[in-house]
Amino acid sequence: MKKLNILFLGLFMFTAPLACSQTQFPEEEWETVKTIGLPLARHENSFTAVGDNFYLLGGRGIKPVSIYNTETNQWTEGTAPETEIHHFQGVSYGNEVYVIGAMTGKYPFETPLPSMLIYSPEGDTWKIGPEIPEDRRRGACGVVVDGDSVYMISGIVDGHNGTHVPWVDRYDFKTNTWTVLADAPRARDHFQVVMEHGKIYAAGGRNSSYATKQTFELTIPEVDIYDIATNSWTTLDQSGNLPTERAGTSTVLYNGQLIVIGGESASQETAHNQVEALNLNTLKWTTLKPLQRGRHGTQAIMHNGSVYIAAGSGNRGGRPELDTMEKLILNK
């Protein structure tokens, strides 16, 4: 009897965490948020939270910051940067928004910025940040902050022409130093990353190739995972591939779920409205309710149990630029 009890306890300890890892998403629909005022329409921008305010930064052309106050439900306008900035995943650090791995200029030969740009919401001011090493500059990469470090994952060197790279770099805010890390298993651009428990997840994106007239075609289905502690990469098997291949996606993390939103691909003219979530414990995908309006080239924010997404383009390419914001409630 004693052996049976031990066996039962062992089975319970093995299976219980898997049962608890499942997240049940509510059957909520995305809703277009009715706000006081509207943000400036834009795409290839970032959408980043600092405190209780949301900030739409950058996009094609030189555009002022659009600021959304979650308490007053109102949009206001902030200062524009001196330089055109687009194709970047904005991140917040020290109550400021960092623009890292952005591009400037016109399609298809955009050039990467030589330095970070930093927007300070407190003073509504811009300043030039640390320089990016000349031989590691690129845009349309994934960017994520971990403590006092920021990681740049993959990207493309020459706008949309074809020099996409698998590079990984870490910048230490405290020591002002860059470190070259292990290359990703594959190059990708036009995607975003998230981090959970010391691992960075790369899903979506493509290998933009204007040089071969395949700007939108070369989408990437694989999900790659970088382990910060071991400086090593793994790739999910084929069953873990992104169900709907697309680039220009927005990605957020919610309760152990990597959520990939919207995007663009050669398979359709309209921007994708698909929303798909990867459970990082079971490595299984779930389909969520679609966006009210498909969009790509923007970013999403998790705030108080809801996902917010604003701006972006409604069709493959650059038009129409959108000025709406949608919300999906995940935790009432």
Taking only the tens place, the pLDDT of each residue in 186-242 is 999 999 999 999 999 999 999 999 999 999 999 999 999 999 999 999 999 999 999
Mean pLDDT to the nearest integer, 120-143: 98
Q: In what order do the strands lie in the sheet with 275-279?
A: 250-254, 257-261, 275-279, 285-287
Q: In what order do the strands lie in the sheet with 91-93?
A: 91-93, 96-99, 115-120, 125-131
Distance CA 192, CA 328 (A): 19
**Domains, the chain, ordered by start:** 30-329 (2.120.10.80)
For the stretch 70-103, pLDDT in tens is 999 999 999 999 999 999 999 999 999 999 999 9
- 121: helix, strand or coil: coil
Residue 119's SS3 state is strand
- Residues 293, 322 contacting (CB under 8 angstroms): yes
SS3 state of residue 247: strand
Task: Give the per-residue pLDDT at 28.
Answer: 87
Residues of the chain with pLDDT > 70, as a percent, come to: 93
What's this model's pTM, rounded to 2 decimal places? 0.92
pLDDT tens readout for residues 20-46? 345 678 778 999 999 999 999 999 999
Averaged pLDDT for residues 249-256: 97
Question: Which amino acid would we find at residue 85?
Answer: I
Report pLDDT for 22. 52
Distance CA 148, CA 243 (A): 34
Phi, psi of 298, rounded to the nearest 5 degrees? -145, -165
Q: Report helix, strand and coil shares of the chain as percent, to nearest 5.
A: 10, 40, 50
